A and B are shown apart, each in its own frame.
Chain A
Amino acid sequence: MTTSDTAGICPVTVQPLEEGAPPRPVIDLDVHGEEFCARNYAIYDELLTTAPLAWSQRNGGFWMLTGYEPVFEATKDDDLFISSAGTGLPKDGQEALAPGTGPIPIEIDPPETQQYRKPVLGLLSPKTVAGMEPSIRQMADEFIDEFIESGEGDLVQQLSTPLPAKLSLRLLGMDEDRWPEFVAWIHTIIHGERAAAGEAQMALFGEVATVLESRAAMADKPEDVLTAIVTCQVNGETIGFVEQVRYVFLVLLGGMDTTSGLTGNTLERLARDPALRQRLVERRDLLRSATEEFLRVGTPTQGLARTLSRDAEFHGQHMKAGERVMLMWAAANHDPAEFADPHTVDLERTPNRHMAFGVGLHRCLGSNLARAMFQVMIDRVLDRLPDFELTVGEVPRFHDAGNVYAPTSFPVRFPPGPRVSPSTGPAAAGPAQ
């Protein structure tokens, strides 16, 4: 019943899903697969031309939205495209995560979304984050100190992974020195096999529960994100304990690999484009606008899913209630209809209405902090090891780009430099030379 075909790396066949149903552009795309991780941007480019809205039977079946306008409109329409049924797509052959265990408020629909977000907004606002900048800078310098004298290091494992993890734990009033354990749990939950992921989630939720209980029992609570979550009111009532755990889970999930992914993706561009790196070394005043461009071209959360709340015709496609939709922001960020020369990195691109943080009600709650952490890490690297050389041909990445598009490692060598802070203990001392 094929009516038209395209060739290429992601062929499109227009066909009805069942006898008598309206035809739809059908593709065979697994967003959790290795093919997608290796060729995601080539796939986006092709689909932007052939089928900016296409149906894939993989991952439980989903509409793949790549065009800027459809992605924008769908993301803004929280009534038709709901979040409470889950924002991730299942792996082939698996069920989606059990409802009621995912992170919130990302999986809460309006009007409650705003009530959940309200108490945290001020704690992650541009003004608050500006006040945190010196401590972020100090943290970055301390992490760089641990390898700067040796002339080699791993900028993902020793800087962009630990810094956001440690800072997220600090925001939550948790033991920030335990960041390696939390990173391991989060990585297993996101990238591990289902059984291991379940165990890691249980372990993490157990830790979080303990911290929440002790905070709830505290008479004078410090003004921080954990207190905001423990005291969060929705519809006039304090949110339940499970909701509190899921909220902390979101802060940990959102805070860690995304910022590291943006930083790693950007370091790779700087490593492969000496002129681009030199421009940023010389013109650090461009870092603010450059951040938006790196968010556009190196979007770590490539997309998130929604679910149709009812049958609807959307951009010419007949969508059915209950069908999942992937809002592929990383693809939309390369749509030539919105961005001239989308593959050119223009550090001063104006305007730059990228959707790396999403748009609308669910837009990333930690975006101001993410930008600050990213800018500090890039600034410190360009100040302290501007001549870093990537020592591997291919940067290792998490295999599942459908979850996060991020390097797992970024080994470099560089002319050794001096520490800037005194050694703080055995962990930072390193071997004698």
Chain B
Amino acid sequence: MRVTADTSQCAGHTLCNAAAPQVFDLDDEGYVVVLVEGDLPPELEGPAREAVAACPERVLSVVD
């Protein structure tokens, strides 16, 4: 499983970072940076799914 982000549509809610800081970091302006581009280690899959669901802009996705 991996995650993708349409970073151009990020509005800086920061909720993904709160749910899965090891997967979604924030840049100096507070916008999302995907830390893990490839397959996620199993222990991060749960937090990553939660982070994707948390995004009010709906710009994060899970690719199974």
A residues bordering B, Cβ < 8 Å? 76, 118, 121-122, 124-127, 288-289, 292, 350-355, 357, 359-361, 363, 367-368
Interface residue from B14, B55, B56, B57 paired with A368 (Cβ < 8 Å) = B14
Inter-chain contact A122/B50, CB cutoff 8 Å: no
Inter-chain contact A127/B13, CB cutoff 8 Å: no
Closest 4 A-B residue pairs measured CB to CB?
Answer: A121-B29, A353-B56, A125-B30, A363-B11
Q: With A and B bound together, what is the CA distance between A337 and B25 in angstroms?
A: 30
Q: With A and B bound together, what is the CA distance between A353 and B50 in angstroms?
A: 12
Known: A353-B54, A353-B56, A355-B56. A125 touches B29 (CB 8 A): yes
Inter-chain contact A125/B11, CB cutoff 8 Å: no
Inter-chain contact B57/A367, CB cutoff 8 Å: no
Inter-chain contact B57/A351, CB cutoff 8 Å: no
- Contact flags (1/0) for B8-19 with A, using CB distance below 8 Å? 000111110111
Q: Is the interface of A mostly helix, strand, loop or mixed?
A: helix
Across-interface contacts of B53 in A (CB, < 8 A): 350-351
Across-interface contacts of B19 in A (CB, < 8 A): 350
Inter-chain contact A350/B50, CB cutoff 8 Å: yes
Q: With A and B bound together, what is the CA distance between A363 and B13 in angstroms?
A: 9
Interchain residue pairs with CB less than 8 A apart (9): A118-B29, A125-B26, A125-B28, A127-B28, A350-B54, A359-B57, A360-B11, A363-B11, A363-B13
Inter-chain contact A360/B57, CB cutoff 8 Å: yes
Chain B residue with Cβ nearest A371: B14
List residues 23-50 of chain B with CB under 8 A from any CB of chain A. 26, 28-30, 50
Interface residue range, chain B: 10 to 19
Instruction: Tell me the minimal C-beta distance from B47 to chain A in angstroms.
Output: 11
Q: With A and B bound together, what is the CA distance between A289 and B12 in angstroms?
A: 16
Q: With A and B bound together, what is the CA distance between A127 and B33 in angstroms?
A: 14
Known contacts A122-B28, A363-B13, A367-B12; 19 additional CB pairs below 8 A are A118-B29, A122-B29, A124-B30, A125-B26, A125-B29, A126-B14, A127-B26, A127-B28, A350-B50, A351-B15, A351-B50, A353-B54, A353-B56, A354-B56, A359-B11, A359-B57, A360-B57, A363-B12, A368-B12
Across-interface contacts of B56 in A (CB, < 8 A): 353-355, 359
Inter-chain contact B30/A292, CB cutoff 8 Å: no
Inter-chain contact A351/B26, CB cutoff 8 Å: no
Chain A residue with Cβ nearest B31: A121
Across-interface contacts of B54 in A (CB, < 8 A): 350-353
Instruction: Tell me the minimal C-beta distance from B54 to chain A in angstroms.
Output: 4
Instruction: Tell me the minimal C-beta distance from B31 to chain A in angstroms.
Output: 8
Across-interface contacts of A127 in B (CB, < 8 A): 26, 28, 30
Across-interface contacts of A350 in B (CB, < 8 A): 19, 50, 53-54
Inter-chain contact B26/A126, CB cutoff 8 Å: yes
Instruction: Tell me the minimal C-beta distance from A187 to chain B in angstroms.
Output: 29
Across-interface contacts of A352 in B (CB, < 8 A): 15, 54
Chain A residue with Cβ nearest B29: A121
Across-interface contacts of B13 in A (CB, < 8 A): 357, 363, 367
Chain B residue with Cβ nearest A117: B29
Chain B residue with Cβ nearest A129: B30
Across-interface contacts of B17 in A (CB, < 8 A): 126
Across-interface contacts of B15 in A (CB, < 8 A): 292, 351-353
Q: With A and B bound together, what is the CA distance between A246 and B54 in angstroms?
A: 33
Q: With A and B bound together, what is the CA distance between A359 and B58 in angstroms?
A: 10
